[in-house]
Amino acid sequence: MIEASAPAAPIIEPEPLNSDVVARGRHEFAVLLGEFRRTAVLVPTDADDSPLTGDFGGIRWIYAFSNESALARFAIARGEGGREWPYQRLLGARLLDAAVPAVGVPCGVALDVGTEGEGVLFPPVVGIVPEAAAVDAEAAGTSGDGETRA
C-alpha cells in the first residue's frame, strides 16, 4: 500500500519593508529622542556617585528612569526593592552628550528597563551620541572626530 505524503508546509516569505513604514518609524524615533534629550530623568548612582550601569551585547548601558515608579519597578525586578536608591536628576541630553562619552567604552542609555513594554534603548550610534562615542562613526562616513571622510 502506498501512503500519500503530507503536503509540504508553505514557505512564507517576509514582506519587504515599505519605505513609508521605515520613514514613519525613523520619524517616531527622532521625536522620541528629541523628547528624551529635553527631559530630566532619574539616574540611579552607585557608592561612588557614578551612574548605575549594566553590560549587555558588548555595550555598557547607563540606566535612566522617567519617574520614581519606573525606578521602583526596576529595583523590585532586581530583588532590591527594600533598599534606598540614590539617584541624580539629569537631562537626557547631558546623559547622551557628556556621560556616554565619559564612560570610555561603547555606551548607550537604557530608559525605563524593568517596565514591561515601555523601555527604550538609545544605542551609541551616530545621531544619538556624539560621533566620537559612536560605534558606527566610521561606517557612517565620519572619522569619529566629527569630520566627514570622502
The predicted-structure confidence for 88-129, as pLDDT tens digits, reads as follows 999 999 999 999 999 999 999 999 998 777 899 999 999 999
pLDDT digits (tens, 9 = 90+) for 52-89: 999 999 999 999 999 999 999 999 999 999 999 999 99
Task: For residue 121, list its beta bridge partners.
Answer: 110
DSSP codes of every residue in 61-96: EEEEBSSHHHHHHHHHHTT-TTS---EEEEEHHHII
Residue boundaries of the structural domains of the chain: 40-133
Nearest CA among 63, 59, 25, 58 for reference residue 45: 63
C-alpha R_g of the chain: 21
Q: CA 42, 48, 51, 55 torsion: positive or negative?
A: negative
pLDDT(43) > 70: yes
For residue 150, the model assigns a pLDDT of 40
CB contact at 8 A, 95 and 45: no
Task: For residue 126, list its beta bridge partners.
Answer: 129
pLDDT digits (tens, 9 = 90+) for 127-137: 999 999 999 88
